[in-house]
Chains A and B, each alone.
Chain A
């Protein structure tokens, strides 16, 4: 009887340890899944934020939190940026390759990748050209289409544009009668 009791106690202890290990594994898995989900959300958020600034990121391949509200990211397209909110709540984007900080219009224009190319034919680009190009680039990319560099814009109305991108990609960006923004690929 004494031996049996001892065996039972030993067995209970083993099951207890096994249960504890299983519980810890489950907890770790759940926490990891939550972290991964959170990282995906942050990466997607940052990708959109960069697109809105005219930066062609094509998705985030590496995400690393460097501070409470600061992240270092590597883009699928190869760019590397540090993105954060300043103490004043302003978006700060630093191009880690050039060291250029994108915080205001004066600096941001110099690094928006498509600005120099958009009016290549006339070799001129104004702030207006840059902002129109940036908006159209954002709308096209946020629609799931690709436009590495804008080569030309034809304005039909204020919210109806034909956009030419490199590699023969042309898009019609407009607002439908139902009030939805639409982007159609135009075959040449």
Chain B
């Protein structure tokens, strides 16, 4: 039963990762998550291509990236937006290499949606200059 917990938490953290980045500043109606992204997150948390501890480990890394985004939106430099982009792309690569053999469809959709993810994360937020 407890094995369901990390899956549920992974969904929560991944959603929080995306949503919280926007919630640091004024709410933006355009910041509604694309249903395609929601579906992708749901598929990633449910895939059997990777185990529970792997998902928890990814969750830890996503949380760290989320914290870096939060720092950026609070005006801290570093990280710069270029650095965040590099970390984001490497994290996508990590996720893809975990699933591309056992769940190639998910890996492909993750790849094709990565710019949508990035656009969602970065477009409506502007760094606070200090």
Contact = CB atoms under 8 A, between A and B. Distances in A.
A26 interface: no
A49 B57 contact: yes
Contact of B90 (A85, A139, A179, A180): A139
B94 A90 contact: no
B56 interface: yes
A89 B9 contact: yes
Main secondary structure of the interface of B (DSSP, over half): helix
Contact of B97 (A88, A105, A132, A139): A139
Nearest to A133: B90
Contacts of A46: 53
A155 to B, nearest CB: 7
Interface stretch (B14-22, B26-34, B38-46, B77-85): B77-85
B121 interface: no
B53 A83 contact: yes
Interface residues of B, number: 41
Contact of B93 (A89, A108, A159): A159
Contacts of A45: 50-54
B54 A49 contact: yes
A107 B41 CA distance: 28
A60 to B, nearest CB: 11
Contact of B56 (A89, A136, A139, A142): A89
Contacts of B68: 127, 131
Contacts of B67: 105
30 contacts: A45-B51, A45-B54, A48-B50, A48-B98, A49-B54, A50-B57, A52-B60, A53-B57, A68-B2, A85-B6, A90-B9, A90-B59, A105-B64, A128-B78, A128-B86, A128-B87, A131-B64, A132-B86, A135-B93, A138-B94, A139-B93, A142-B94, A158-B89, A159-B89, A159-B92, A159-B93, A175-B111, A179-B112, A180-B96, A181-B93
Given A85-B2, A88-B9, 11 more contacts: A42-B51, A44-B51, A48-B57, A52-B54, A89-B56, A132-B90, A135-B90, A139-B90, A139-B94, A159-B93, A180-B111
